[in-house]
Structure formats: structure tokens, C-alpha cells
Structure 1
């Protein structure tokens, strides 16, 4: 699965782990794909103003055995880009961005890890979804759809309550900790405390070498936004790809419990409909 990840996603996912010099190479590569494809090792090192050994360390950090493998990945990316017919209209561009980001998210996460994370959820006495900021929206959505499916869970977006609740989680519990950056100290602190107490922790973040994935039993990743979009923080693209990843957990759970989930969704639909009728009656 890793071999299918585009070179740009590979670079962006690992960007925070690069040294200052490696970031220079990464920035150069992402701005000059057409030139990089045909460059020799010496030419690439000269243009980046680094040593050839530094270029090779960068290439190997991305998981390539040699320059040839790296250039093949660059060539594949260029061919995929040529197939795209981007419209000048921003609505269409946005839609195409979302398609690409969700597809990359599918490629990044092995199905076995999704399945194992759902095993944790199924076997837990208490399931806690935790996130704040834009990731807080994500945990509210996933908590809601799991509750509608009949899986009782908690959704925590408050920092202090997160610290309190994480101190009481134990070996029979699971925390789904969501942070777009992976370095949100409030989320990583709570996740670390829960893990120390024996609680299973599943992280959902974007960058592989940040703090939260190192704390987790299972680390899942949403595809990072482009470097252009990242300058403005996690916007709607970031939220939507996180929610897409969260939905993969729910879909896996739903497929295992189809009849139960369907019955519970009917119950909740009836309950909300009756509530609306009651409110209308009061009017």
C-alpha cells in the first residue's frame, strides 16, 4: 500500500521529521517536479546547495532504496497530474482536491489497522472520542453517528474535562484521540495519561513523526493538505479528510453489526420524529 502513495503525500506526511537541510530539498522537489525527474544526483545536490549524501539520506527517509526509485515516483506523480483537467472555477477545484485527499487517505491506512481499531472499540467498556479546535468538530460528528448506531460513547472537546476523564480510563477502555497537527499538547497529554493507565489509544492525525502517533497503540492518518493550503492552518479540507477517516471506522463497525445498527437507527429516527411532533404540539 505504501508504494501507491503519491510522492507529494509522502513528502508532506513526513515533512515535520525533516532536518532544516532536508526541508530545503523537500521544498525544491515540490516546486520543480518537471526538472527533478531528469536530474542527476550531482545536479540535484548542486541546485539544492547540499551534499550528495544529504540528498540520499532524504530519499531513503522517504522509503526509497535509491535515486532511480525516487525518480520513478516523481514520474508517476507527473503522469497523474497530467491526467487532471482542473477547472478555473474554485468550486470544481475544491471538489477535485477533496477527491484526491480522500483517495490518498485510503492509501495511507492499511485496512488491517482500521479493523484492529474497530476491534478495540467493540471490546471496550468505555469509548471516548477526544479532540478540540477543528478536530473537536470531527469527534462530535463521529460520536454522534456511533451513538445513532447504538454504541454508547463520550465526546470530549473540553481541555480540563479531557484531563479529568483520561485519568480515570483503564485497561478495558479506548480513547480515539484526534489532532490534525499531531502536536496539540492538550490531546497528547490526555492520550499519554490514558495509555499509562492501560487504556488503548487510537490516534487520528496527519503527520507521522509528530507526538500523538508516538503515544498511540494504533496510529491512523488523514492525507495532508497541500503546502499552499497548510499555510492557513487546517481549513475545511482538513476537517473533511479527518471526518472521512473517522467514517472509515464507522463503516467498518456498521458492516460488522448491520442488523443491530439498522435497528438502532430506526429507534433513534422514531425518537427524534416524536420529539419534533411533541414540540409542534406545544406550539
Structure 2
């Protein structure tokens, strides 16, 4: 891994977690959770804290993209000094309401900061081009991801770009079977490993449709299948969960993508926005 912006270190590690075995993932999680690692922390200490061999720690470091343990240690030290790392604090049972609010907001801020740090502008521009030119826009997602898909459809309809949301397995596969090369699927999946969504995405690709993936893991199966990957990242929280804060980052990515797509034909977007706003404005009158 090329060490640059310290805020990217933890994000790059999290994105590679799907490549690890359960034991390797535990070791990576143990090390990420530590805040006491410094330049003098020996490999032996890290291995003993995770109850594994020194060779295992080195193996994990390399699978996470580092040249070895020393580079891994250096990256973590730099990350722990960053502003983003300081934002996250785990919620405890005796937190006051004020502390809870601060911790939840700061954790979301961390997800935004780190997602922005790994932002892929070239992929973002390709995604906006695909959505702008698409004949049909289908949005796929299950559970919490389906809510993001619905938000996407709502946003694009406001500017006259029609799309459909599919959050049912059979409907998703039916959608994918009818897609053509002029069409685009935007798939939302935190893990990037939801089997039925992957089946639908692979069918869509087989039929020539472009696929845009919103996911937390760049090495996930969904990311490897997609034409364009827009990655979020979030630190795991025992109570909030990783998905909750990653969703905040994905919604911000979606907002930016919506604006960029609208900018491809701003005159048409503005004209359609006036129409759609006018159509619903009377419902707000009393």
C-alpha cells in the first residue's frame, strides 16, 4: 500500500476485509481496535495480543496491502494521529443523552471524512455518464439498502430521469432478464455479498447492462462484478453497527452523483424540476 493521506489507511484496510479468512479478519479487527501501537511496538506483542503467530500477523499485513508488519504499523500510527480517527468513540452503557448524540454524530462524520478520502473521481464521472445516457435505470437493494434505492429513484424522477426500484428477489431477476446494453443497474449492498442481488447483477451484466455498485468493500463480489464501484467506509460500532454509518456516506455519495448527473443536461434537469415541484406543490397547501 502506498502511504499518503493517513485518513485512507483504515478505509483501505476495511475495504480489503472480505479477502481475509475469519481468523485473519479477527486479527485485523484486533489490531485496528488498538490505540496503543507506537514505533516501539514489537511484532511479538501484536501477535500475542491476538493469540496468533508472528507469521500470521505478517500475512495479514500483506493481504491488507502493506509490504509487511513495519509498514502496517507505520500506517496505523499515522492514522491514529489523524482527525478522522479521533472522531469515533464507542457508545457505553452509562453515556448521557448528550454524549450519545455527540458520539453518533461524530461517528457519522468519521464515515464521511474517510469516504471522501478514498473517493474515486474517475469512477464517479463514469457513473454519472452512464446514468445520464441510460434508457432504463433500475435500482437494486434489500433491507436498509432498499431505502437508499428508493431515495435514488425519487431524486432522479424529480429531474425527469425515470427509474425503477427492485427489492424483491423474483422481481429483481425479472428486471435483470429484460435489461439491454443501453440500460444501467445501480446496486446498493453494504457487504457486496448478498447472493440474490449478485445473481441479478450478473444476469444484468450478461445482457449487456452497465452496473454501478455502492458498497463498503472494494474487493467484494459485487465490486468485482460491477463496471463502476463507489465505496463508502465506516468503523464498526457494537450498537450502531457498521451498516448504519456507512449508509450516511452512501447517501452523500448518491446526492453528489445525482447533482453530477443533472449537470450533464442542466437545462432539462431544471425544466423537469419545475414541473415535478409544481405537480406536488398544491399538496402542501392548506
**TM-score bracket relative to the smaller structure:** 0.7 to 0.9
More helix by share: 1
Shift of 1:37: 4.7
Indicate conservation of the 8 Å contact 2:234/2:242, yes or no: no
Indicate conservation of the 8 Å contact 1:2/1:107, yes or no: no
Shift of 1:267: 1.3
Note if 1:38 corresponds to 2:46: no
Q: What secondary structure, in the 3-state scheme, does the structure 2 residue paired with 1:50 have? A: coil
Aligned residue for 2:165?
155
Range that drifts further, 206-215 or 124-133: 206-215
Aligned residue for 1:59?
61
Q: What secondary structure, in the 3-state scheme, does the structure 1 residue paired with 2:212 have? A: strand
Q: What secondary structure, in the 3-state scheme, does the structure 2 residue paired with 1:89 have? A: helix
Shift of 1:144: 0.5
Per-residue deviation, residues 75-127 of structure 1 (Å, max 9, x unmatched):
12221268659796211211111111112122223110000111111222111
Q: Aligned in 2, Cα 1:90/1:276: closer, same or farther, shift over 3 Å? A: closer
Q: What secondary structure, in the 3-state scheme, does the structure 1 residue paired with 2:230 have? A: strand
Aligned residue for 1:134?
144
Q: How many corresponding residue pairs?
A: 276
Range that drifts further, 101-110 or 130-139: 101-110
So what's the TM-score if we normalise by structure 2? 0.86
Q: Aligned in 2, Cα 1:217/1:113: closer, same or farther, shift over 3 Å? A: same
**What is the aligned counterpart of 1:25 among 24, 27, 33?**
27
Query: Any gaps of 5 or more consecutive residues in structure 2?
Result: 90-95
Aligned residue for 2:228?
218
Separation of aligned partners in 1, 2:262 and 2:70: 43
Aligned residue for 1:234?
243
Separation of aligned partners in 2, 1:61 and 1:272: 52
Q: What secondary structure, in the 3-state scheme, does the structure 2 residue paired with 1:198 have? A: coil
Aligned-residue RMSD, C-alpha? 2.6
Shift of 1:227: 4.5
Per-residue deviation, residues 141-177 of structure 1 (Å, max 9, x unmatched):
0111111012122222222211111101011111001
Indicate conservation of the 8 Å contact 2:88/2:106, yes or no: no
**What is the aligned counterpart of 1:270 among 272, 278, 281?**
278
